[in-house]
C-alpha cells in the first residue's frame, strides 16, 4: 500500500506542485515555440511525454552500466534516437501535424526537461518509478502547453482545435484576432501570468528574494 | 587459458567497474549500435508510407489548384479525363526531356550530375542548386499550350517553400498558385496558405511588354497588375515569394521552356 502511494505521489507531484515548467522552469523553449494552436501543442505534449517515458525507462534499465565519464552522451544518444523514431512515425501516420511541427519535434532532443529527468531521477532509480516520474513530468509539461496553446489559439485566431469559437472579422464576425498571441512573446507573458497565479495559491513555491530592492531596504531602516 | 565462451565474456564485461576503459568504450559502442539499428529500422520501414503521404498531398494540392482556376473545370471536362499531361522537361533546353519520364524522375534526381549549382548572384531564390529536370503539367487546346503548372520553390523565412504555379498559355499571366510545403510563422507568413491571398495571383502578370521582370509581392495592397497584395507582418516571407516566382520564371528557371512555348515549338 505504501509503495503504491509513493508511486501515485511521484506521478501527481509534478502536475502542479513540482511542475517542471512553472516551478523548475525547464522546457521553456518549446513552450514558447509550439503553442500557437491547441492541436500542435497537444501533439508536441504527447510526443514529449512518449519520449520522456521511454528514455527514462531505457536509461533506468542500463543505469548500473552507464560509465560516469560518458553518461550524458549515452543519455543524449538514447533520447535523440527515440526522437528520430517518433518523428518518422509522425511523418508516416500524422503527416499534416508533422509538417506543422517541422523542426520542433527534433528539438525535443535538446529539451532540458528530458535530460533533466533521466539525469536526476532515472539514473538512480529502478525502471518503474523512473517511468512514472517521467510520465508525471510529461503530463505536467503537457498541462502547461495545453493551457497556453488554448489561450493563444483562442485569442490569436478566435478558434479552438480549428473550430471557430469567437467569429473573426475575416469570417464576418466581430472578433479582431490578437496577432501578438501568435508570436513568441505572448507565450512569455502567459507563462509569467501562470507562474504568478500558481505561486499565489501555492505560496511555498515563492522563492526567497536574493536581494532587497534599495527602496525597501531604506524604508526598513 | 583464455575463456572464449561469449556468455561468460559478456558477464565479465558487465562485471567490470564502470570506470574501466574497456567498459566505457564498450558501452559507448553498444549503445551507439543499438540506437543506429533502431533509427535506421524505423526510417527504412516507414519510408514507403511517408513517400505515399507526400505524393497524395501533392495530388490533392494540384487538384485544388486546378479547380480554383476560373473556367478550368469546364476546360478539363471538355478535353476529357486525362486533360492534364505530366511532362518532364529539361530546364536547360526548355524541351521535353528525352531520357527521363515522370516515373524515372525521382531516380534521375538522386544523381548529382542532374543538378546545377547556382552562382550566388544567380541564386535569388536561395536554393543552392537547381535540378536539371522538372515535372510540369500541361493542358493543350488545339495543339497550343493553354495552361502550364510549374513546380517552384525556394527558401522562405523559416524553411523551404514549395509551390505549384499555374501559368496561362501566354506564359506571362499567372492563373493560380498552390503552396505545397512551407514552415513560415503561423498567423503571419503561414498566411501564404490562405486561399484569400492566393486568389490574388490569378491574372497577375510576370513581365511587362518589353520583357522586363516586374512581378512582386507588394508591401501593402497591390498597386499594379504586376503585383500581389503583401502580407502584413510577413515582409520576409513576401520577399521570398517575390524572389521564388522571379527566379523560376527567369532565365535560370523555366526561362527556356517559356521561350519555347511562346515560340510555339513545344
Same domain, yes or no, for B203 and B91? yes
In the predicted structure, residue A217 carries a pLDDT above the cut 60: no
The gap from C-alpha A95 to its chain's centroid, in whole angstroms, comes to 23
Same domain, yes or no, for B138 and B7? no
A vs B: CB pairs below 8 A: 85
Same domain, yes or no, for B59 and B77? no
Q: What confidence score (pLDDT) does residue B69 get?
A: 67
Inter-chain residue contact B187 with A156, CB threshold 8 Å: yes
Structural domain range at position B105: 72-263
User: In chain B, which residues have their Cβ closer than 8 Å to the Cβ of A85?
Assistant: 38-39, 42
Inter-chain residue contact A85 with B187, CB threshold 8 Å: no
Same domain, yes or no, for B47 and B117? no
Q: B198, B61, B207, B46: which is closest to A89 by C-alpha?
A: B46
Q: Are A131 and A7 in contact (CB under 8 A)?
A: no
* Final residue in a domain of this structure, among B68, B93, B115: B68
Same domain, yes or no, for B243 and B187? yes
- In this prediction, residue B51 has a pLDDT band, given cuts at 50, 70 and 90, of confident
Domain assignments of chain A as residue spans, ordered by start: 2-220
Interface test with B, best of A65, A68, A168 (most B CBs within 10 A): A65
Domains identified in chain B, total number: 2
Same domain, yes or no, for B146 and B168? yes
Q: What confidence score (pLDDT) does residue A94 get?
A: 82
Inter-chain residue contact B31 with A74, CB threshold 8 Å: yes
* Final residue in a domain of this structure, among B16, B33, B68: B68
Alpha-carbon distance of B140 to B237, in angstroms, equals 33
Same domain, yes or no, for B78 and B140? yes
User: Which CB contacts under 8 angstroms, 24+ apart, belong to A24-28?
Assistant: A24/A116, A26/A111, A26/A112, A26/A113, A26/A116, A27/A111, A27/A112, A27/A113, A27/A141, A28/A191
Same domain, yes or no, for B85 and B45? no
Give the number of other CB atoms < 10 A from CB of residue B193: 14
Instruction: List, for residues A148-201, the tens digit of each pLDDT value.
Output: 888 888 888 777 877 777 777 776 777 777 778 878 788 888 888 888 888 888
Average the pLDDT over each of A58-72, A97-111, B180-194, B212-226 and give the range with the smallest value.
A97-111
Q: What confidence score (pLDDT) does residue A218 get?
A: 58
Average the pLDDT over each of A15-24, A79-88, B188-197 and give the range with the smallest value.
A15-24
Q: What confidence score (pLDDT) does residue B34 get?
A: 92
The residues with which B174 forms a beta bridge, in sequence order, are B167
Q: Are B129 and B118 in contact (CB under 8 A)?
A: yes
Amino acid at each position: 500500500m505504501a509503495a503504491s502511494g509513493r508511486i501515485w505521489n511521484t506521478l501527481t507531484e509534478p502536475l502542479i506542485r513540482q511542475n517542471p515548467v512553472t516551478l523548475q522552469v525547464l522546457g521553456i523553449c518549446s513552450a514558447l515555440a509550439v503553442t500557437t494552436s491547441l492541436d500542435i501543442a497537444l501533439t508536441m505534449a504527447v510526443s514529449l511525454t512518449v519520449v520522456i517515458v521511454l528514455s527514462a525507462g531505457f536509461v533506468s534499465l542500463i543505469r548500473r552500466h552507464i560509465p560516469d565519464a560518458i553518461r550524458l552522451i549515452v543519455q543524449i544518444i538514447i533520447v535523440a534516437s527515440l526522437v528520430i523514431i517518433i518523428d518518422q512515425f509522425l511523418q508516416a501516420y500524422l503527416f499534416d501535424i508533422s509538417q506543422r511541427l517541422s523542426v520542433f519535434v527534433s528539438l525535443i532532443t535538446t529539451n532540458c526537461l528530458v535530460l533533466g529527468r533521466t539525469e536526476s531521477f532515472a539514473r538512480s532509480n529502478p525502471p518503474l518509478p523512473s517511468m512514472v516520474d517521467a510520465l508525471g513530468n510529461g503530463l505536467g509539461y503537457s498541462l502547461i502547453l495545453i493551457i497556453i496553446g488554448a489561450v493563444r489559439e483562442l485569442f490569436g485566431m478566435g478558434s479552438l482545435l480549428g473550430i471557430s469559437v469567437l467569429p473573426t472579422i475575416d469570417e464576418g464576425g466581430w472578433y479582431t484576432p490578437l496577432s501578438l498571441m501568435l508570436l513568441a512573446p505572448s507565450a512569455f507573458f502567459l507563462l509569467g501570468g501562470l507562474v504568478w497565479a500558481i505561486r499565489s495559491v501555492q505560496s511555498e513555491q515563492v522563492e526567497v528574494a536574493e536581494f532587497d530592492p534599495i527602496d525597501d531596504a531604506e524604508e526598513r531602516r | 587459458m583464455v575463456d572464449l565462451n561469449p556468455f561468460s565474456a559478456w558477464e565479465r564485461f558487465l562485471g567490470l567497474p564502470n570506470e574501466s576503459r574497456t567498459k566505457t568504450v564498450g558501452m559507448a559502442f553498444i549503445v551507439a549500435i543499438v540506437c543506429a539499428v533502431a533509427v535506421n529500422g524505423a526510417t527504412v520501414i516507414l519510408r514507403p508510407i511517408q513517400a505515399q503521404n507526400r505524393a497524395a498531398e501533392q495530388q490533392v494540392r494540384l487538384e485544388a489548384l486546378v479547380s480554383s482556376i476560373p473556367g478550368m473545370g469546364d476546360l478539363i471536362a471538355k478535353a476529357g479525363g486525362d486533360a492534364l499531361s505530366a511532362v518532364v522537361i529539361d530546364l536547360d533546353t526548355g524541351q521535353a526531356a528525352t531520357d527521363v519520364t515522370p516515373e524515372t524522375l525521382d531516380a534521375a534526381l538522386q544523381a548529382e550530375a542532374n543538378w546545377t549549382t547556382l552562382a550566388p548572384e544567380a541564386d535569388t531564390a536561395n536554393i543552392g542548386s537547381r535540378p536539371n529536370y522538372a515535372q510540369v503539367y500541361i493542358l493543350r487546346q488545339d495543339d497550343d499550350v493553354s495552361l502550364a503548372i510549374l513546380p517552384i520553390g525556394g527558401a522562405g523565412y523559416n524553411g523551404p517553400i514549395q509551390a505549384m504555379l499555374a501559368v496561362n498559355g501566354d506564359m506571362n499571366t499567372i492563373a493560380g498558385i498552390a503552396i505545397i510545403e512551407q514552415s513560415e510563422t503561423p498567423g503571419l507568413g503561414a498566411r501564404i496558405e490562405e486561399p484569400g491571398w492566393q486568389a490574388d495571383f490569378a491574372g497577375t502578370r510576370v513581365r511587362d511588354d518589353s520583357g522586363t521582370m516586374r512581378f512582386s509581392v507588394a508591401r501593402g495592397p497591390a498597386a499594379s497588375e504586376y503585383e500581389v497584395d503583401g502580407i502584413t507582418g510577413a515582409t520576409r516571407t513576401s520577399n521570398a515569394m517575390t524572389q521564388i516566382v522571379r527566379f523560376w520564371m527567369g532565365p535560370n528557371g523555366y526561362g527556356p521552356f517559356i521561350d519555347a512555348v511562346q515560340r510555339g515549338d513545344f
